[in-house]
Amino acid sequence: MFIIDEAKRQVLLIRKKRGLGAGKINGPGGKMDPGETAVECAVRETQEELGVTALNPEHHGELWFQFVDGLCMHVDVFVASQHEGEAVETPEAVPLWTSLDALPFNEMWADDVHWLGQTLVERRHFIGRFTFDDDTMLSHEVSWL
Ligand SMILES: COc1nc(N)nc2c1ncn2[C@H]1C[C@H](O)[C@@H](COP(=O)(O)OP(=O)(O)OP(=O)(O)O)O1
């Protein structure tokens, strides 16, 4: 989930403290609970990780990851221009309000540079497919819709 403050041209990112991608900067997110939709999951994970509620999130993309060890992951990307609450640090994440003009790609997963800027700034929709060996991206393919 990417929450945007349009007046300040900032996006609410996290420094992830534990789990897959710990130490990296990313948007809040995680695994779906049984019976939950993708958007319900994104809103819940954002509440759990930052104490903030995203309002009216819009689906902007799909990420398909294939790791060489066999792990496959499908991630839905949502963008919300409104939210309730103030972001706080939790056991899972440190909140980072970040300028849309200075996204910290060198501290993010390697795929992000291929889709995140266009999605947040130009509000484009996409499907991305990536292969990874651990932290190393081996291939990338992004289709803009
Ligand atoms: C492989 O490259 C990745 N790129 C990007 N941009 N984001 C990724 C990549 N791999 C994982 N992610 C995202 C997807 C999710 O938002 C989180 C990881 O979620 P996951 O549920 O697998 O991990 P945990 O935080 O440990 O799980 P729970 O919070 O559900 O317990 O990172």
Ligand 1 centroid – CA 22 distance (Å): 9
What pLDDT is attached to residue 98?
Answer: 98
What pLDDT is attached to residue 75?
Answer: 98
What pLDDT is attached to residue 64?
Answer: 98
Residue-wise pLDDT tens digits, 38-82: 999 999 999 999 999 999 999 999 999 999 999 999 999 999 999
State the Cα–Cα distance between residues 78 and 56, nearest whole angstrom.
10
Q: Name every residue whose Cβ is closer than 8 Å to that of residue 41 and which is 6 or more positions away in sequence.
A: 29, 30, 31, 32, 33
Domains of the chain with CATH codes: 2-84+92-144 (3.90.79.10)
Residue-wise pLDDT tens digits, 97-120: 999 999 999 999 999 999 999 999
The residues pairing with 59 across neighbouring beta strands, listed in sequence order, are 78
What pLDDT is attached to residue 129?
Answer: 98
Give the tokens for residue 114: 């291929």
What pLDDT is attached to residue 134?
Answer: 95
Q: Is 32 in the pocket of ligand 1 (CB under 6 A)?
A: no
- Measuring from atom 4 of ligand 1, which residue has the nearest CA? 109
Residue 3 C-beta-side C-alpha neighbours within 13 Å: 27
Ligand 1 centroid – CA 132 distance (Å): 13
Mean model confidence pLDDT for the chain:
98
Q: Residues 118-143: what's their mean pLDDT?
A: 98
Q: Is 85 in the pocket of ligand 1 (CB under 6 A)?
A: no
Query: At which residue do the structure tokens 């889709």 appear?
Result: 115
State the Cα–Cα distance between residues 24 and 96, nearest whole angstrom.
12
Strand ranges (DSSP E) for the chain? 2-5, 10-16, 25-26, 53-55, 58-67, 72-80, 82-84, 93-99, 126-133, 136-144
State the Cα–Cα distance between residues 88 and 52, nearest whole angstrom.
8
Ligand 1 centroid – CA 50 distance (Å): 15
Q: Is 112 in the pocket of ligand 1 (CB under 6 A)?
A: yes
Ligand 1 centroid – CA 71 distance (Å): 12
Give the tokens for residue 99: 């300028």
Measured between its terminal Cα atoms, the distance across the chain in Å is 19
Ligand 1 centroid – CA 7 distance (Å): 28
- Measuring from atom 21 of ligand 1, which residue has the nearest CA? 30
User: Nearest-CA neighbor of 47 among 111, 93, 4?
Assistant: 93
Q: Is 46 in the pocket of ligand 1 (CB under 6 A)?
A: no
How confident is residue 6, by pLDDT bands cut at 50, 70 and 90? very high
